[in-house]
A and B are shown apart, each in its own frame.
Chain A
Amino acid sequence: MISIEHLSKSFGKNTVLRDVSLELKAANISAILGPNGSGKTTLIKSILGMVIPDQGTISVQGQPIRGKHKYRDQIDYLSQIARFPENLKVRELLRMIQDLRTRKAYPDALIARFELEPFMETRLGHLSGGTRQKVNLVQAFMYDSPIIILDEPTSGLDPVATLRLKELILKEREKGKLILITSHIMSFVEEMAEDIVFLLDGHIHFEGSCDELKEKYHASQLETAIARMMMRTENNPHHEQNIQI
């Protein structure tokens, strides 16, 4: 379980998150959505301790995370851009990441799922973007951690691998894990996410279930709902004022 209270963060003069409060529960798939620069990545990085908040507290499994590092053992993380040391082999990379964790890892089933066996002895620098993303997925899912954070998980994946990924996410959901996703692919989000957090200019603009969102904006598809939501905010002078503050 992750709870965020009154989180604010600015980089220089640029305020990225303003007073964000959020509760993420176990046995749930949540998606964080929002246009570019809305603070999605900053929010995720704050949870992971890469970004240090100006104000507010973040607790993971009930413990405040500030200045700590051990709590990250509870989190599996898939980063957006998969770049690894070029001269390490796939097997060595996986071993290295396991080496950094205390939790036991189960890479073999994942390697089979994404058909990576032929690449295990290949240097990471020689892999294609899609294969690298598969390696990235293996390293992210191989621990049985209670929290999974996925930043653009489908990027670079072929349809078969995407399908395998979806199955995998659902399987982990069944185990009662907390799963947090960001993605640009609305169909993917619609298919996977139960709850939606929509960020706009550092605020939580909408928080609720996927169905509530569609209902609110009278749309049958998530993409349409979000498009309508964004158009409405653009025409809302009150909101403009908010931005200028």
Chain B
Amino acid sequence: MLLKKLFLLVILCLLLGQVDARLDVCATCPYKAIKPAIAASQAGDTLFIHSGLYQEGNILIDKALTVIGIGYPVIDGKNETEVITVTANRVSLIGLHIKNVGTSYLEDRAGIRIKKAKHFLVKNNKLTDTFFGVYLEHAREGKVVGNVMKAQAKNEASSGNAVHAWYCRKLVVENNHVSGHRDGIYFEFVDSSIVRHNVSENQLRYGLHFMFSNNDSYEHNTFRNNGAGVAVMFSKKINMWENHFEHNWGGAAYGLLLKEINDADIVRNVFEENTIGIYVEGSNRIHYLNNVFRHNGWAIKIAGGCMDNDVSGNNFISNTFDLAQTGKGTYNRFDGNYWSEYTGYDLDRDGVGDVPFRPVKLFSYVVDQTPETMVLLRSTFVDIINFSEKISPILTPAQVQDHAPRMREIDIPFTH
């Protein structure tokens, strides 16, 4: 019965001439170039592009093709054009090495552009010095996986983003290694998407950037040495799990920047050696749970207008300042964290310190007012004024305290 059905299907396909064909492209193949092969192909065909150099200007893919590079064929835009533009659904691009898109101040050229298409796959490609790497506009339900994108961005105005998504839904951006762009991964009006296991480093601006995007999550990513690790702005319901934010140093450098964000979870992330671990502005109802802040300048800096945030179960270890608050009207909870600066005691030995901890130091106010006073950090005089403020608080907000500071580092159940 089954066999009969299958047989009928094959017959049908033969009759309609719809059998998926294989087209090879190389110097000695039937097709010497990519464009003629695409022209000769039909939807559902697979193009095998063998190693070699292909300089064909802008290549348009307007039918459902699978394009596979063998031995990383180099497709070179010669710094003149965008390289591959996809306008059809179900296109896969695998194993290509796309090079030299060239900067343009007039148009956002990309190594690969997916335009108004669904179900695409961009996998294991190398993109070198592409102005924008993978540019997704009005694209849905597609994946960008395992790509390596390198550029040498010099300044923000003349550089593009490695993965740029605009008006998209249900994207998966996974296992990519992106470096040297303006933003590593940029989401604007992108909903219900996942960013995971990527490494984004040495970007001029942000490792990952959300604008007006909702219901997304990013997890297990590493953001290193960027202008700022991750910026999440004007977005709702973003889950942030188990990411590493490392070594984001500089005047406006953050591990994570939250601006006008509501209802997000920030769980089990590690913030290490950032000038500011998390900088929060106008964000409400955010849960900071089980994160580790180690050797940051400021672990968390909260600017005005933040309400109902819950910071608990986190480890604050050897940060220059654990917490700084500027502006008024900030009502947040800080109970149940471990603070390496805490010097209280635990007489009943329940693991919880018997006196509350005040994470905001007087000196952080002074530094906020007069940043140059930073040179007096850890001086005896500053220790004395911090100490006297600790004994009788005048300037530091009384309500900012951890009522249940942990005596020992909290064991954090990472999943990887």
A and B touch in the complex (CB under 8 A): no
Interface residues of B (CB under 8 A from A): none
